[in-house]
Amino acid sequence: MQYRTLARTGLRVSEIGFGAWGIGGAWGQRDDEAAVAALRRAFDLGVTFYDTAYAYGDGRSEQLIARALGPRRSQIIVASKVPPKTFKWPVVPGQSVRETFPADWVIQCTDRSLKNLGTDHLDLQQLHAWTDEYNEQLDWYEAFVKLRQEGKVRYFGVSANDWDPYGTVRLVESGRIDSIQAIYNIFEQRPAEGLLPAAIKHNVGIIARVPFEEGLLTGAFNEKTRFDKDDWRGQWLTPERLAEAARHVEPLRAFLAADRPTLAALALKFCLAHPAVSTVIPGMRRAAHADANCAVSDGKPLPPDVVEALKKHAWVHGWKYPWS
C-alpha cells in the first residue's frame, strides 16, 4: 500500500480508502460478518482511511467499523458525516442552513457518531451535502469550531452534492475546511476543471468517491443485469441505461495492462493519477473486494499518455439518483 498526505491536515492516508456506505445496508442483502471480514482484511492490507456516515444504515456502518477495528483505533483515520436535518439529498439553493445543518444538529450527530464508533474523537467530520450559499450561513462552521475546541473533531470537510463538480470551489477558497469529498472518475471528470486545481492551490485534501460509477466502470454490468430488490441501483440503472453505459465502457478495455488487468483497477488508477487526490474510497463489502482494490496501490501510476487518452472518455450522462 502506498500513502499520501491529506493536504494541510498532515494526516497520512492510504491511497485506497474504505468506502463504508455499502456495508450499512444500501446495496442488496446486508451481511455483517462479511463486512467485518472486509474491514479487517483492508486493515491487514494497509488501509488506514475509513469513510463512513451516520446516515449509512442509521449508524450501522459506524458500528461495524467499531466492531471490526475498535482495538486498532489508534492506527486508523476515521471520517464520518453529518446528514442534513431534513434527511433529504441534495441540499439546494434557497434552503436555509438552519433547516439542514444548524449548529445543535451538527453537534448532536457528531456525538451519535462518536458513540457508534466507540471513540472520543473523529479525525475528520464532514457535512453530507453542500450548497454554495452556506459560505455566508456559518452555523455549521461555528459548530465545527466548537467540536474541535472540545477535542471531538480534528479536521473539517464537506461531501459535495452528487454530480456537482463546481459547487464547493468557493468553499475551498474560503480556507474554512480541510477536505472535499467529490464524485470523480473516468466518466465524471468535471472536478478537474476547477475543484481539483483549487484544492491544490489552497492545500485542501480531495477524497475521490464513486470511482466505479456505481459499478458501471467495473465492466460487470450489461443490459441483462438485474439487481436485488433491496439494491437502490435497480431503480437507477434501467436496462436502457445499462445498454447505453456498456457502449462507453467497452472501449476502455483497450487500456488494460499487466499492472491494471481489470477495468476496476484502471478506474482506481485513473483517480489516483491526479495530484490533488489524497485517497480514493471504493466500497468493499467482502474481503475479496479489499484484496482487489488494495492491489491497485502498487507504486505504478498510470503513464501520462494513458491519462491523457482517458480524458477523451469523459461522459456526463446526467442521470440523477433516485433520491435526488
Compute the distance between CA of residue 89 and CA of residue 288 in angstroms, rounded to an integer.
31
What pLDDT sits at residue 25?
78
**What mean pLDDT do residues 15-39 have?**
91
What pLDDT sits at residue 88?
96
What pLDDT sits at residue 229?
84
What pLDDT sits at residue 139?
96
Q: How confident is the model at residue 233 (pLDDT cuts 50, 70, 90)?
A: very high
Q: What percent of the chain has pLDDT over 90?
A: 95
Compute the distance between CA of residue 92 and CA of residue 313 in angstroms, rounded to an integer.
29
**What mean pLDDT do residues 14-23 have?**
97
Q: Which three cell numbers stand for residue 222?
A: 450489461
The pLDDT of residue 190 is above 80: yes
What pLDDT sits at residue 144?
98
Q: Is the pTM of this model over 0.85?
A: yes
**What mean pLDDT do residues 48-58 have?**
97
Compute the distance between CA of residue 291 and CA of residue 306 in angstroms, rounded to an integer.
24
For 6-40, b where at least 16 C-beta lie within 10 A, e where not — what string?
bbebebebbbbbbbbbbbbbbbbebeeebbbbbbb
Compute the distance between CA of residue 16 and CA of residue 46 in angstroms, rounded to an integer.
9
**What mean pLDDT do residues 68-73 have?**
97
Sheet containing 205-209: order of strands: 18-19, 49-51, 77-82, 122-127, 153-159, 179-183, 205-209, 277-280
Q: In whole angstroms, how large is the CA radius of gyration of the chain?
A: 18
What pLDDT sits at residue 29?
75
**What mean pLDDT do residues 194-205 have?**
98
How confident is the model over 74-113, as pLDDT tens digits? 999 999 999 999 999 999 999 999 999 999 999 999 999 9
**What mean pLDDT do residues 288-307 have?**
98
Compute the distance between CA of residue 47 and CA of residue 18 in angstroms, rounded to an integer.
7
The pLDDT of residue 206 is above 80: yes
What pLDDT sits at residue 253?
98
CATH assignment, 3-215+263-313:
3.20.20.100
Paired sense of beta strands 3-5 and 12-14, if any: antiparallel
Three-state DSSP class for 179?
strand
Compute the distance between CA of residue 288 and CA of residue 63 in angstroms, rounded to an integer.
21
Domain ranges of the chain: 3-215+263-313
**What mean pLDDT do residues 271-276 have?**
98
The pLDDT of residue 280 is above 90: yes
Summary mean pLDDT of the chain = 96
The pLDDT of residue 324 is above 90: no
The CA-atom distances, in angstroms, between 291 and each of 15, 37, 281, 284, 288 are 14, 11, 14, 9, 5
Identify the residue with better confidence: 223 or 284.
Answer: 284
**Angle, CA 126 vertex, CA 125 and CA 127 arms, to 5°:** 140
